[in-house]
Structure 1
């Protein structure tokens, strides 16, 4: 891997033979994917390819029609406290402060019982990790878009996840803020060694942050591409350009086959 050896060769998150359909059409049709500890895998695909559906299956929010999800070797039967999911919309509750938004959910039924001091320590650590310790008592209306996304990421980190799932979390941000959040994400993955699955529509984002990029198409993984490019990646124009061509080609091919009439 380009950013050093992973913590273990064993898959922390494993999706095996995942199938899911809508309106008599298999959107996901036999998806196999593994993510190891400390690995960041990006998922690209055309609109309707099932990227967000796959992420929700990995989170245990919906059950696949067929196939299995395993986390740390155990079959997933619903949501787990050590699997965190963050969306493009930060989903902050406007009547709660930043720190209370980050703490939200830590005392839910499926979460392990935590003493008040431990919850407060987790929240403080998460806010420190995303650079928002100074904004703990801010209201959501006082936050910029980037700060709101940092708060959402802190909320996920407060759960101390071993698996982190991100659904286009930076898609609504401006270019400068998005670059800052991408750097923060890399730091978070390095520090926590969370197995991380990132759904994105941005090829360049995938190339900059990922250890692998998977193109979802034809119901499965059409391409699983290792990104073995040294840092700083944004300076590796030629290497990234060649990989970008492969990803664009795979996306176009998968879209063409999906659109083709079935015989």
Structure 2
């Protein structure tokens, strides 16, 4: 693996008497998609907020391109399960929303327009810039949310269950779209998901967070494309993940790589 774009070292966080994260070490390389699995309450979304610079850990560090993270950065984009589109803005203006914020680099109007058009084209919505959010399907709305991230030209992409509310067919389309975007942009990407099959289909690596706040497992997913056709290999990896998920509260952290 190439040098990490994002490096987490010894991350720890407590809420009162409850340990949320405990000594988490994790690297994400440029162009790598790492999925985070874990039971509800295991700290997955909290970890993303820390990497986004929205929450400070009690201990440990996050470095991005070798620089300690001190807060939100313009080259880090975060998307949630809810697309969070503003209903009074068009699709185009929703994608552009935030490009003029203080933390963002100053852009000429022509450059903003270029970025928005390029982002909409990347998610297959070049024709939809003038539509209102109420005119969009769930899948289209999620594409707009992803385009809003892409318009910021992120080098780090953080996704918190972005496809959880979509139907199976739309979800599969979005998964393929995400893999293509990570490949094309080379963004270091962290994806929080509850779906083991989704993680297996899109990830270069999967990490499992236990309810004790520690990394219970790391799994390199070395499966040839098209992954959907590798049923036996995916099945074996799925069994490993399910077993590790059930045992994560009792078993010491392990690291596993499978071909």
User: Where on the TM-score scale, by shorter chain, does this alignment land: which range?
Assistant: over 0.9
Matches within 5 A, 1:1-263: 9-217=2-210, 218-255=212-249
* Residue 255 of structure 1, CA deviation: 3.9
What SS class does the counterpart of residue 207 from structure 2 fall into? strand
1:212-250 deviation line (CA, Å, top 9, x unaligned)? 000001311110000000011111111001100110111
2 CA distance for matches of 1:156 and 1:75? 22
Larger CA deviation: 216-225 vs 136-145: 216-225
1:59-88 deviation line (CA, Å, top 9, x unaligned)? 001111111101111000000000000000
* Residue 23 of structure 1, CA deviation: 2.4
Structure 1 spans left out of the alignment, 5+ residues? 1-5, 259-263
Structure 2 spans left out of the alignment, 5+ residues? 253-259
TM-score (ref. length: structure 2) = 0.95
1 CA distance for matches of 2:6 and 2:178? 18
1:20-70 deviation line (CA, Å, top 9, x unaligned)? 111211110010110000100000000000000000000001111111101
Aligned to 2:256: none
What SS class does the counterpart of residue 176 from structure 2 fall into? helix
1 CA distance for matches of 2:13 and 2:126? 41
Superposed CA RMSD: 1.1
Asked if 2 retains the 8 angstrom alpha-carbon contact of 1:38 and 1:190, the reply is: yes
Moved over 3 A (4+): 255-258
* Residue 256 of structure 1, CA deviation: 5.2
What SS class does the counterpart of residue 134 from structure 1 fall into? coil
2 CA distance for matches of 1:34 and 1:254? 20
CA 210–232 in structure 1, closer or farther in 2 if over 3 Å, else same: same
1 CA distance for matches of 2:216 and 2:41? 15
2 CA distance for matches of 1:214 and 1:46? 12
2 CA distance for matches of 1:20 and 1:156? 27
Asked if 2 retains the 8 angstrom alpha-carbon contact of 1:46 and 1:255, the reply is: no
1 CA distance for matches of 2:203 and 2:178? 10
Asked if 2 retains the 8 angstrom alpha-carbon contact of 1:86 and 1:156, the reply is: yes
